[in-house]
């Protein structure tokens, strides 16, 4: 399957002379970026990884040096599922659904992470990938970051799952809200509706984010207003990637049932309409939104636009009032269980 970029009139890449191993004046950098709008191969992690590599290769072939995938691309977004949950009860069928979903998730670190890192290195791209992370028996909606040297940089776990997501996904904490300082700008991500949390956005602004990635499962047109607001508020580029899915992209019933729908959708029914978009720091839509199907959506990001935008409004700079308003972020891990070794106990007793 060959996917064409929505913005297919892009000139040859303007970023060829950027040193991918070290930074200088970031405001002189122009970055070609692609957001991927495509569906998971549900319950088939290996096939999804194969699909991801084809898409990364295609994006790289027309000069992209940053590729952003949708929320839960590896592992799948379980749209329409209830996992048999009602207040006070869980069904045996729902428990089995969760077992299959858990099996499709990935360990971080793990073999799938190694393969994704290899893809980033092979195609020389910064890669931002939405995954379902398996940590023991708890799942997290997570974004992974990789650099063109084939290195895994780290992750962001969704801090606040939305609605029924809270039944199947654990909650992230302040230790996974990274912003990475790279030769193509400072890159970070929030996932879907946590982008609507003002204090969480402010934490990223405080870390100097310049390329703000927003993997999502939200296809309604109102999402565009949120993404435009974030771009203007943060004075940053916003790259929002969503899946485009039809019913036939999920397993057929009874293996997968859209229980939350009034009736089972037909195979060709669109169940997630995409809307992936790239927006400049001044709120100008550079590419997208696309509601037509699977696509690669690309734009050239002129980082000088960030400086121009922040001259008017710098939310954590000259427009902040820290003597009136301030934010404290607890950025250490929150562990349910901690252990003190015998040697530490002995040293404490001696002191």
Establish whether the linkage from the previous residue to 231 is cis, with ω within 30° of 0: no
Tell me the CA distances in angstroms from 219 to 170, 216, 223, 323, 333, one per residue in order: 23, 8, 7, 39, 32
Which token pair is 310? 């922040």
The DSSP 8-state label assigned to residue 263 in this structure reads S
Query: Active site residue: 58, 71, 97, 133, which one?
Result: 71
Helix 198-206 / helix 222-234 crossing angle, nearest 10 deg: 40
- Write phi, then psi, for 114 (nearest 5 degrees): -60, -40
How many Å apart are CA 154 and CA 144, to the nearest integer?
A: 6
* Residue 71 to residue 82: CA distance in whole angstroms: 19
Q: Strand pairing partners for 272?
A: 245
Beta bridge partners of 130: 143
Q: Is residue 264 annotated as a catalytic residue, yes or no?
A: no
How is the chain split among helix, strand and coil, in percent rounded to 5? 30, 25, 45
Catalytic residues: 71
């Amino acid at each position: 399957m060959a996917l064409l970029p929505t913005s297919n009139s892009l000139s040859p890449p303007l970023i060829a002379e950027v040193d991918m191993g070290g930074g200088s004046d970031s405001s002189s950098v122009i970055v070609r970026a692609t957001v991927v709008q495509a569906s998971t191969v549900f319950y088939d992690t290996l096939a999804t990884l194969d699909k991801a590599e084809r898409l990364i290769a295609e994006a790289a072939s027309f000069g992209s040096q940053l590729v952003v995938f949708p929320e839960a691309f590896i592992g799948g977004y379980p749209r329409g599922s209830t996992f048999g949950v009602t207040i006070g009860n869980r069904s045996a069928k729902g428990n089995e659904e969760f077992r299959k979903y858990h099996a499709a998730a990935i360990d971080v670190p793990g073999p799938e992470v190694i393969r994704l890192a290899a893809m980033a290195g092979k195609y020389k791209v910064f890669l931002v990938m939405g995954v379902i992370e398996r940590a023991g028996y708890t799942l997290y909606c997570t974004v992974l970051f990789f650099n063109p040297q084939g290195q895994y940089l780290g992750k962001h776990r969704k801090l606040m799952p939305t609605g029924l997501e809270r039944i199947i996904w654990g909650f992230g904490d302040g230790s996974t809200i990274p912003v990475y300082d790279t030769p193509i700008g400072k890159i970070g991500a929030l996932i879907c509706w946590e982008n609507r949390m003002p204090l969480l956005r402010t934490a990223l602004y405080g870390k100097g984010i310049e390329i703000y990635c927003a993997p999502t499962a939200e296809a309604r047109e109102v999402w565009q207003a949120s993404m435009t607001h974030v771009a203007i508020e943060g004075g940053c580029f916003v790259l929002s990637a969503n899946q485009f899915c039809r019913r036939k992209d999920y397993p057929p019933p009874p293996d997968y049932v859209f229980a939350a729908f009034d009736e089972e959708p037909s195979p060709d029914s669109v169940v997630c309409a995409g809307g992936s978009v790239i927006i400049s720091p001044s709120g100008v839509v550079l590419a997208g939104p696309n509601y037509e199907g699977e696509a690669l959506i690309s734009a050239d990001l002129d980082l000088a636009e960030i400086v121009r935008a922040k001259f008017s409004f710098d939310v954590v700079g000259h427009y902040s009032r820290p003597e009136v308003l301030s934010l404290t972020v607890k950025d250490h891990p929150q562990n349910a269980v901690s252990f003190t070794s015998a040697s530490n106990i002995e040293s404490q007793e001696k002191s």
